[in-house]
Amino acid sequence: MVNRVKRRVSCFPKATYYKPREIPLCCLEIANLSIEELETIRLCDFLQMEQSEAANKMGISRKTFWNDLQKARQKVADALVNGKAIEISGGEYVNSGECKVNFLCKECDHVWESKSNKCRPTVCPNCGSTLIFRIGGDGKGKRFIDNNYCCPKEKQQECSEGSKKSGNNSHY
């Protein structure tokens, strides 16, 4: 693609990973949705904003918005129909400054919101712990699901077999 315009994004995802139940992570195919693709779905399908208004908000043409939206819908549909996981990360976007980011304290489970253009908090406002993690965000922060985290121990074998014969129903 030539001279790709950076999309303006006003909301970061609350969660960046969706996975079908009972299928181990390593046996899954992953549909990767970019931050700006999710934004098109949020504006158009969730907030039901007019496309021209949504395009304007993201700083792109209506045609570009429509193309992004189609790509996003196709990926989500693919994941739902074919039982794939959805990972929301990456892309080419700029933060409009309105984005809120959630943080979680590992010590006391306190969750709070912070404007993403402010400094990253260093301690939990509830208990003062420094063991805090960003939830979701731009995909560059800490992840709750490590991509190396795979199967629970007992499923290890079943899983490695399953991944060879991709698409079989051994887990049902």
Give 16-80 as a 3 state SS string: CEECCCCCCHHHCCEEEECHHHHHHHHHHHHCCCCHHHHHHHHCCCHHHHHHHHHHHHHHHHHHH
Give the nearest distance from C-beta 114 to Zn ion in angstroms.
14
Q: Which is nearer to Zn ion, 61 or 129 (CB)?
A: 129
**Going edge to edge, which strands form the sheet with 111-115?**
111-115, 100-105, 132-135
Q: Which is nearer to Zn ion, 99 or 132 (CB)?
A: 132
Q: Which is nearer to Zn ion, 89 or 102 (CB)?
A: 102
Task: Determine phi and psi for 5, rounding to 5 degrees.
Answer: -75, 135
Among 9-17, 42-50, 51-59, 123-131, the segment contacting Zn ion (CB under 5 A): 123-131
Q: Does residue number 129 form part of the binding site for Zn ion (CB under 5 A)? A: yes
Site string for Zn ion, 101-120 (x = CB under 5 A): ----x-xx-x----------
Chain residues in the site for Zn ion (CB under 5 A): 105, 107-108, 110, 124, 126-127, 129
